[in-house]
Amino acid sequence: MPTSATVTHVRASLLLALAALPAAGCGPRLEHGISGRTMGTTYHVKVVTGPFGSVAGLQQKIDRRLEQLNLSLSPYIPESEISRFNRFPRVGEEFPVSADFLRVMETSERVFELSEGAWDGTVNRLVDLWGFGRAGPTHRVPPPERIAALLAEVGFQRIEIRHRGALVKRQASVTLDLSSIAKGYGVDQVAELIRAEGHLDFLVEIGGEVYAAGARRDGRPWRVGIERPRAEAEPDGLHKVVSLRDRALATSGDYANYFVENGVRYSHILDPRTGYPVTNHVVSVSILAPTCTLADGLATAVMVMGAEKGLALVNRLGGVDGLVVVEMPDGRLQDYPSEGIRLEPPSE
């Protein structure tokens, strides 16, 4: 009976089209698909079971869990935890938070410290100023004095995390937007839920961020494709493929969200330390890590840090690998892989 390799296609812009898995032999294992919408994007889940396995009721549990996370972490919901924290005016007073909010903040603090501030969850007002946030595009470079004024409100160190379950503002104007790490946390939480239901082989994707557990229906590792980082690339154009088993993958890229003014290209990836878009020619970063929360945060951090410093960080971290793609002066794409990553061509 004929077989074919299957690639799950991840878009660095966080839009993902999952390839349908064809039959891979005559084994009795079944694959069940679940999909929906969350966090302003889509999610897809694949669960592999035995011939009599069932996923009845699983989507309802997934949707309820994702709704809980939105009510905690979505800055688009006025009464979410994060929105209420952003409005909280009192310096030095505890703001109680849920276990979800606390766990995301703890990983956020770790990424902030590991990256020496290259990733910072308090940069959202600068993102809005540059026209890449909730207020919509402006397509113009902000005045330097406005950038400087908002930069004075940026800094993850302006928030104290009290690990018994509270946050404390050290500056009243500091605000959070954890969108660049929350999808990864959502992936991890859905994976935890599926495991709790007794399933060992599955793949979870939210907006392009992925966790793969166990094996596919044919017993082989999940193959996940990284999109070719070109604005003009075909929707299913792949750059590389990685095999995943009990590991997460997150990708960040700058090629789909930018504007041009006076011939200069300005990306939506901002350096929180300067207030300006990065100019290091990194167009895509993919991170493999034990959790998708960590992978998600590190992907953005390495985009800001650049290929040399970013890969040095990745190579120091146990269980973490990465691929940095740089656009060269002649327009070619150059891959800079970490020491332990194994990359496959899309056709393999």
Q: Would you say residue 139 lies in a domain?
A: yes
* Strand 41-49 relative to strand 238-244, pairing: unpaired
Q: Would you say residue 86 lies in a domain?
A: yes
Q: Would you say residue 146 lies in a domain?
A: yes
Beta bridge partners of 168: 94, 160
Q: Would you say residue 308 lies in a domain?
A: no
Q: Would you say residue 30 lies in a domain?
A: no
Q: Would you say residue 52 lies in a domain?
A: no
Task: Give the tokens for residue 247.
Answer: 């590991």
Task: Give the tokens for residue 117.
Answer: 């501030």
CA-wise closest residue to 217 among 59, 48, 71, 34: 48
Q: How far is CA 79 from each of CA 70, 76, 160, 238, rounded to the nearest angstrom?
A: 10, 9, 22, 40
Structural domain containing residue 136? 72-179
pLDDT digit string (tens) for the chain, length 348 residues:
333 334 444 443 333 333 334 444 445 899 999 999 999 999 999 999 999 999 999 999 999 999 999 999 999 999 999 999 999 999 999 999 999 999 999 999 999 999 999 999 999 999 999 999 988 899 999 999 999 999 999 999 999 999 999 999 999 999 999 999 999 999 999 999 999 999 999 999 999 999 999 999 999 999 999 998 976 655 568 999 999 999 999 999 988 889 999 999 999 999 999 999 999 999 999 999 999 999 999 999 999 999 999 999 999 999 999 999 999 999 999 999 999 999 998 875
Q: Would you say residue 151 lies in a domain?
A: yes
Reported in sequence order, the residue ranges of 207-281 that DSSP labels E, i.e. its strands, are 209-213, 222-227, 238-244, 247-253, 258-261, 264-267
Distance CA 307, CA 323 (A): 9
> What is the three-class DSSP state of 282?
strand
CA-wise closest residue to 107 among 280, 289, 313, 326: 289
* Strand 321-327 relative to strand 282-289, pairing: antiparallel
Work out how many domains the chain is built from and give that number.
Answer: 1
For residues 222 and 244, the answer to whether their CB atoms sit within 8 Å is: yes
Tell me, what CATH number does 80's domain have? 1.10.3980.10
